[in-house]
Amino acid sequence: MPQAHYFSNEPVGEFRPKTIEVTLAGKKVSVQTAGGIFSPDHVDTGTAVLLELLDEAPKLGDVLDIGCGWGPIALSIALARPHVTVWAVDVNERALELTRMNAALLGVTNIKICKPEEVPASVKFAGIWSNPPIRVGKEALHEILKTWLPRLLSGAESYLVVQKNLGAESLLRWLQDTLPKKFSCLKVDNSKQFRVIRVTHKN
């Protein structure tokens, strides 16, 4: 049996959606999840920590969720910020299908759900919010962040949540050492063994 991860393009195993009850953007809602994706049984603790900062999400423009899973971050921002366009991207086909299903269930229309390569190169982001796929490995994660963070508009911010014991501090140092000087990188929240890193494209 081939091993599958939540960051696999095609998860193994039958697609069997199930309903769970969660709170997104302050509303109790029912959503669809399934095996073969990230955190299929609940809103991941790190994601919940990140979403405590939802008031910081931009009110206009395009916002990116890197590695959307079944959609908790993207859907929360879309619900809380009806005038933004949220780009929910994932390499996992099942995750994308579930996010589409959940957007339809919740009546969310200000969302675009696609693979990373399907985001037009011309799109720049007023915000990037992500519980990034740490388990893809350091090298792959660094490539993902080097691809997307430079697409922040001037003055825009990215919020990334990372578990402390999965390398939050080392990732912060790497971001500070690697990104151009026009970016500032700070740890803005410590909660439940998670760290939230804010990356700002300075004016």
Which one, of 129, 106, 130, lies nearest residue 28 by Cα? 106
Does the pLDDT value for residue 24 go beyond 50?
A: yes
Q: Count the alpha carbons within 13 Å of 4 in the hemisphere toward its beta carbon.
A: 17
Mean pLDDT of all residues in 82-103: 97
User: Are the C-beta atoms of 114 and 89 separated by less than 8 Å?
Assistant: yes
Name the pTM for this structure: 0.92
- Outline where DSSP puts E strands in 105-151: 111-114, 125-130
Which pLDDT score is estimated for 9?
A: 54
CA dihedral (117, 173, 128, 103) positive or negative: positive
* % of the chain beyond a pLDDT of 90: 86
Q: Is the pLDDT of residue 139 over 70?
A: yes
Q: Which CATH class is domain 18-201?
A: alpha beta
pLDDT, one tens digit per residue, over 57-85 is 999 999 999 999 999 999 999 999 999 99
Sorted by where each begins, the domain ranges of the chain are: 18-201
pLDDT at 138 over 70: yes
